[in-house]
Chains A and B, each alone.
Chain A
Amino acid sequence: MNKLLLGRFIPGDSFVHRLDPRAKLLTSFYFIIIIFFCNNFVSFGVMFLFVLAAILASKINLGFFIKGVKPLIWLILFTVSLQILFTTGGEVYFKLGFLTVSEFGLVNGAYIFFRFVLIILMSTLLTLTTAPLSLSDAIEYLLRPLKAVKFPAHETSMMLSIALRFVPTLMDETEKIMNAQRARGVDFNEGNLMQKMKAIVPLLIPLFVSAFDRAEDLALAMEARGYRGGEGRSKYRVLRWTLKDTLIIVSMVVLTALLMWVRN
């Protein structure tokens, strides 16, 4: 559980940390979209250079990012090998029944691999450099236009901030209950699938109970402090768009142009 780096936040004070969360969120989304326009190794190279520059600007050790990809390596390899084995076309190197290793397959496999790694790196960078609460602020801001179609933007973002706030608390709670049950002889890692699933029960039930208890307490405490929903509420954390945020958006335009140029 502690190995997964994606979704965690490392406080810092770098260029990337100080960017407006809206700019970061938009950039990351956009980046993930344009990855699908890459169709040769040069275009992937360009994207890699961009991510590398962003990582260097975040002043977070590159090694952590590489470690962050590791837990997902099986998923990546699985997809890559499917891609390699089931794509036909070009020169055929190996054939066994319906499995073929062909030139196109290998190239496609490599593309998928780079795509995965790039997407993971970019989203890891986003969550590592953005505090969860400012991320949910950014989402609320970006969802605001949807209010026109009666979309509950405030409620959604409140739910999101509460959910994000309780991720570490629930993780601690899980750890605590796991330890307590381990001390009572539960083995979470041993036995066959059925036994493992059974071992989860003493963990899940207390977790549900405590999550509901917590929700009730929190709701009461919020009401006691005068919360009545989004209507007429002011904002304490104000997002500030600055020149560097505009620059980031401009850099994305440049990147897109560059990508279109090197693309086949």
Chain B
Amino acid sequence: MDIRFEEVNFTYQPKTPFEQRVLFDINLEIPSHSYTAIVGHTGSGKSTLLQHLNALLKPTSGRVILGNREITPETTNKNLKPLRKKVGIVFQFPESQLFEETVAKDIAFGPKNFGVSEEEATRLAAEMIELVGLDASYLDRSPFDLSGGQMRRVAIAGVLAMEPEVIILDEPTAGLDPKGRKEMMDMFYRLHKDKGLSIILVTHLMDDVAEYADYMIVLEKGKIQKDGHPREIFSDYAWLKEKQLGVPSATEFAFRLMDEGVQFSQLPLTVAELADELTANIKGDLKKHE
């Protein structure tokens, strides 16, 4: 499902004393089957932008095109369900949305809302719980007896069970331990690669952007400052410094090596790329010495 924003503006509570403009003339295009990262400071409008992606918010002016649906300021709340089935959102700390008596029921809740039969929803629950790294024994437990990390997985399973075409992740690993974080991010990447899901990731972790994303959007004060391939954006070190956004740790290290005179054929973004470049360099050096 292609996503396009055309001149989108958004203001919270317009024409009241609490009026606050959050998005300014957003134009962007997110093609199907892509992995997009949105970065920016707290309060730069990321969460507001996200909520436009399944019409939880409607633009104050401009239009959002989601597949074959067009969302304008005049769009009514009727008939949005088919859209919301296609775009799944994993909000920050999604464990706060759990409410059913058992894990199985909670995961099946989304699909059932979209008209999936009881048996099919139960089957999906069993499938999704495995996918997020828990086993079937959890299905009959109460979600409130689980640890924070397990609740997070159940909540994510609940969104995946809707079988969306686009999945939006708002800092999905905030507050998880390093192992849980890696497992979770790898699982999303597998879904993206194997099932062709579009993924839109909001994060502060540049390492995750470098590792997974093929497109990157930098937001600041409700405006898109830069967009493009992560390698392109991370190469402008001075600009990122000025905006107080970091670069991935491998890239940071590479920049320091460059100051020492090491040459790279392309800017490394991940530890693996950095290692490859360095081994190539060392081999080259050795050849010279021979």
State whether A206 touches B81 (Cβ < 8 A).
no
State whether B96 touches A186 (Cβ < 8 A).
no
- Known contacts A2-B13, A64-B16; is-contact A183 B96 (Cβ 8 Å): no
Which residues on the B side are within 8 Å of A169 (C-beta)? none
CA gap between A173 and B98 in the complex, in Å: 13
Which residues on the A side are within 8 Å of B51 (C-beta)? 179
Of A8, A60, A182, A184, which contacts B158 at CB under 8 A? Answer: A184
With both beta carbons as reference points, the residue of chain B lying nearest to A173 in the complex is identified as B96
| 23 A–B pairs (Cβ distance < 8 Å), ordered by A | A2-B18, A64-B17, A67-B16, A176-B96, A179-B51, A179-B91, A183-B54, A183-B88, A183-B159, A184-B84, A184-B110, A184-B113, A184-B158, A184-B162, A185-B114, A186-B113, A201-B99, A202-B97, A205-B99, A206-B96, A206-B99, A209-B96, A210-B96
**9 smallest A-B Cβ distances: which pairs?**
A185-B113, A205-B99, A180-B97, A184-B110, A183-B89, A202-B99, A185-B114, A180-B91, A10-B17
State whether B110 touches A209 (Cβ < 8 A).
no
With both beta carbons as reference points, the residue of chain A lying nearest to B98 in the complex is identified as A206
Most buried by A among B18, B88, B97, B159: B97
Any chain A CB within 8 A of the CB of B258?
no
CA gap between A206 and B18 in the complex, in Å: 27
1/0 per residue, CB under 8 A from B, across A156-189: the answer is 0000000000000000010011011111111101
With both beta carbons as reference points, the residue of chain A lying nearest to B87 in the complex is identified as A183
State whether A177 touches B56 (Cβ < 8 A).
no
Any chain A CB within 8 A of the CB of B85?
yes
Residues of B within 8 Å of A, CB-based: how many? Answer: 28
1/0 per residue, CB under 8 A from A, across B49-91: the answer is 0010010100000000000000000000100010011011101
With both beta carbons as reference points, the residue of chain B lying nearest to A203 in the complex is identified as B99
Of A173, A176, A184, A210, which contacts B109 at CB under 8 A? Answer: A184
CA gap between A10 and B17 in the complex, in Å: 8
**Cβ distance A16 to chain B, nearest Cβ, rounded Å:** 15
Which residues on the B side are within 8 Å of A205 (C-beta)? 99
Any chain A CB within 8 A of the CB of B144?
yes
